[in-house]
Amino acid sequence: MFGFLGEAVRNYRTTGAVAPSSRGLARAMTSNLHTCEGPRRFLEVGSGTGAFTRHILQGMRDGDSLDAVELSAPFARRLDDDVVAPHRRCHPGQSVRVHQCAIEEAELDGPYHAIVCGLPFNNFPLELTQRIFDIMLGLLAPGAWLTYFEYVGMRPMKAPFVGGGGRRALRSHGDFLSELERDHNGRRTLITMNIPPAWSVHLQAASPSEDTHG
Ligand SMILES: C[S@@+](CC[C@H](N)C(=O)[O-])C[C@H]1O[C@@H](n2cnc3c(N)ncnc32)[C@H](O)[C@@H]1O
């Protein structure tokens, strides 16, 4: 918790939180992992110190794999040492890799059967948010789910402090995210037991039958 806070203060733009997410939010974020049989490939983006990673790992079976991408070197080291290495020792039949880099730079091959994303999009320029969603949606298997979260009321709360240009940017962000929800069968779950309360937002990649009908 205190290590997380230190990194958040040093790098607030990319961390975007003052504490790791709660178990309630982690449960909502990982609720779409078990929609397919057989060996499954999972991707987590912005793992931090592993609040969601722990839940993903708990649900994995032999043959499954997880790629966890985390930008911050101290967080990636803690994730590997405290969460991933102990799991690897107990579950040698599963593949878990931590990639310490930005998702925009990560060398990953899709398709993934689920993506869990913890990035603080409201702190990013719109172009970066758009680029990252493009990458993630391009890595999803047909019909699979991408889940991200946002704090409740974050954009209206920020608006009075950012000036006219900042307010326009927040509005375009909101418009872009709403459009994504419209185009990808969007669903939301409200998690009040989190500091601050958050929405988990679920987006679904088009399935092959939808592709053929245009
Ligand atoms: C809001 S924190 C979430 C951490 C954790 N998933 C949780 O919910 O407690 C966002 C995380 O995303 C990471 N991050 C920010 N930009 C990133 C990027 N472009 N690629 C990968 N990770 C990034 C930050 O370093 C930080 O650990």
Domain residue ranges of the chain, discontinuous segments joined by +: 19-208
109 Cα: distance to centroid of ligand 1 (angstroms): 20
- Quote the ligand 1 centre to 26 CA distance (angstroms): 14
Q: Enter the pTM of the model.
A: 0.93
What is the rounded (10 degree) CA torsion for 68, 70, 74, 80? 0
Query: Both tokens of residue 172?
Result: 């375009």
**What's the DSSP call for residue 73?**
H
Domain 19-208 grouped into CATH 3.40.50.2000: no
Distance (Å) from CA 52 to ligand 1 centroid: 11
- Residues having CB closer than 6 A to ligand 1 are 14-17, 20-21, 45-48, 51-52, 69-72, 75, 102-104, 118-120
CB of 203 closer than 8 Å to CB of 137 = yes
pLDDT digits (tens), the chain, 214 positions: 656 667 766 777 777 776 889 999 999 999 988 877 889 999 999 999 999 999 999 999 999 999 999 999 999 999 999 999 999 999 999 999 999 999 999 999 989 999 999 999 988 999 999 999 999 999 999 999 999 999 998 878 877 887 887 788 888 899 999 999 999 999 999 999 999 999 999 999 998 766 544 4
> Residue 177 corresponds to which tokens in the numbers above?
């995210």
Of 119, 134, 148, 191, the residue with max ligand 1 atoms within 8 A of its CB, to mutate for a pocket test, comes to: 119
Residue 175 Rama label (left phi>0; alpha psi -120 to 50; beta): alpha
Tell how far the Cα of 71 is from the centroid of ligand 1, in angstroms: 7
Report helix, strand or coil for 20.
Answer: coil
Centre of ligand 1 from the C-alpha of residue 110, in Å = 20
For 79, the token pair is: 């994730």
Amino acid in position 201: V
> Given this model, what pLDDT does residue 4 score?
67
Which atom of ligand 1 is closest in space to residue 46's alpha carbon? 12
